[in-house]
Amino acid sequence: MKKLSLQGLAITTFVFVMMWGVNKITDLKLFSAFDGMSQAFSEFEITDIVFSQLRPDPLVDQRIVLVNLAPSRGLVAQQIMKIKQHKPKVIGIDGFFDCEGGLYDTLNCPQLLDTLGNLMLSNAIQEAGNVVLVSKLLQTKKLIEREGDVDVYDSIEYSDPMFTVYAKNAYASLPTNASYQEDVKLCRSLFPKMMVNGKRELAFSVQVAMLYDSVKTNKFLARGKDEEIINFRGNVELVENKLGDLQLKETSSTRYPIMFYAVDWDQLLDDEYIKDIFEGSIVMMGGMGEFIGDPSWEDKFYTPLNKKVAGRANPDMFGLVLHANVVAMILNEDYVDELPDWMKILIAIIICFFTVILFIIIDNKLPMWFDTLSVTIQVIQIIIISSIVVFAFQASSLKLDLGLSLAASALVGPAYDIYKGFENQIRAWLTKRQPEVLKE
């Protein structure tokens, strides 16, 4: 038994050494011809199947109303004033009102020419008194040189002071691995809070939720996680026609029905909406294309709700809807829980070790059947582990993330064969050398 355990431990160690080696080889891009394929699979997670296909249809969250942002500051001011009349609890605006690059002249910043529109917007924000504006986390060149490519920030970009002085400010930056604004943006999570120059800053969605329900939001922050997985529930639109009838419209990129009420900018200004939906609610304003249903890619993200779980072709969620999903998650206390890293590693080691022990027993007792049984066991293991991951996430929003266990299960067969080949070769070499040793 001791010999069996030691052999099992040695082969298990060899499996993890192989995994480390494969990881290093792929980091070196030695298989660059397969980069497209590897990228497609790297974007996929087993839990995406639950998000996009297995969950029941969500209920409409009547506390959150989405409003498409008007194309000019004067019209945005009119939107805010009209919404204010219906007494919403908080208004979150996912849009910047600044001069890009800090160049405050009419040539580089034509928005300054709209003096009346700027004054109207500033006054509307001041009169509303419950507005949250977005900011952007930034890294100075000095910080990048010192820290490298890490999620540490030492500066923030705000809208112009004439707007921010009358509003709460919170960052809209999200972890997407995108190198630039127009790059592919795959979003699964958010940073709930960040420390910037010793001051705690809140994410835009978290700040909006805080003004609506501070108790639930503080409970969310008390989880103490630097990064939270977003529990996406819906990505749809509600359009209201000229007759005032609510029409359900499913987006082309997801299968989910309505999750939030939404009003287009011209519908709001033309009074073509149901007034009652705003009272006491969270109103989130932001860009959703020229009109609701516009297939625009601007400020749009790939999410786990995408119909294509791998090799995604079209982004499926506007940033505003993504922030709304976070607010709903906080208010519903519908968090995603994860296993700690040490537990993921321990589970992978245990599964690998006992699989190796089983392989050794089969190899000793049923050598003729070893290849058939070992492959069968690996396939069954992968199916069972994948099913457990899916079931756990569907049943309780627990993300097991057993990718390391799956990798170990897939490699244990080849690793066992390689290890046995080396072992047999060494034994043969020692057996061949033994007579010469005795002769001496």
247-280 per-position pLDDT tens digit: 444 444 455 557 888 899 999 999 888 888 999 9
Given 335, 367, 398, the domain boundary residue is 335
Question: Is residue 18 located within the same domain as residue 142?
Answer: no
Are residue 168 and residue 256 in the same domain, yes or no? yes
- The answer to whether residues 8 and 76 belong to one domain is no
The pTM of the full predicted model, rounded to 2 decimals, is 0.84
Strand-pairing partners, residue 199, are: 196
Cα–Cα distances in angstroms (integers) from residue 282 to residues 16, 173, 184, 302, in the given order: 49, 20, 29, 24
Give the separation between CA 5 and CA 12, rounded to whole angstroms: 10
Residues 235 and 313 in one domain: yes
State pLDDT tens for residues 206-221: 999 999 999 999 999 9
Q: How far is CA 251 from CA 2, 248, 318, 323, 437, in A?
A: 60, 10, 11, 17, 78
**Domain presence at residue 51:** no
**Same domain as 388, residue 325:** no
Q: 138: Cβ–Cβ under 8 A, 6 or more apart, which residues?
A: 153, 154, 155, 156, 157
Alpha-carbon distance 431 to 440, whole Å? 15
Q: Give me the domain span that covers residue 379.
A: 2-42+338-439
Q: What is the DSSP letter of 51?
A: I
The first and second tokens of residue 239, run together, are 């359009």
Task: Round to whole Å and give the CA distance between 205 and 325.
Answer: 9
pLDDT in tens, the chain (440 residues): 788 888 889 889 988 888 887 777 655 444 444 444 444 445 567 887 887 777 777 888 899 999 999 999 999 999 999 999 999 999 999 999 988 766 777 777 788 888 899 999 999 999 999 999 999 998 877 777 676 667 788 889 999 999 999 999 999 988 887 666 666 688 899 999 999 988 999 999 999 999 999 999 999 999 999 999 999 988 765 444 433 444 444 444 455 557 888 899 999 999 888 888 999 999 999 998 888 877 777 778 888 887 776 655 678 889 999 999 999 999 999 999 999 999 999 999 999 999 999 999 999 899 899 889 999 999 999 999 999 999 998 888 898 888 889 988 888 988 888 888 877 777 677 676 554 444 44
Domain boundary among the residues 277, 303, 335 is at 335
Chosen domain end from 304, 335, 366: 335
Tally of domains in the chain:
2
What's the sign of the alpha-carbon dihedral 3, 4, 5, 11?
positive
Q: Closest by alpha carbon to 54, among 218, 233, 206, 219?
A: 233
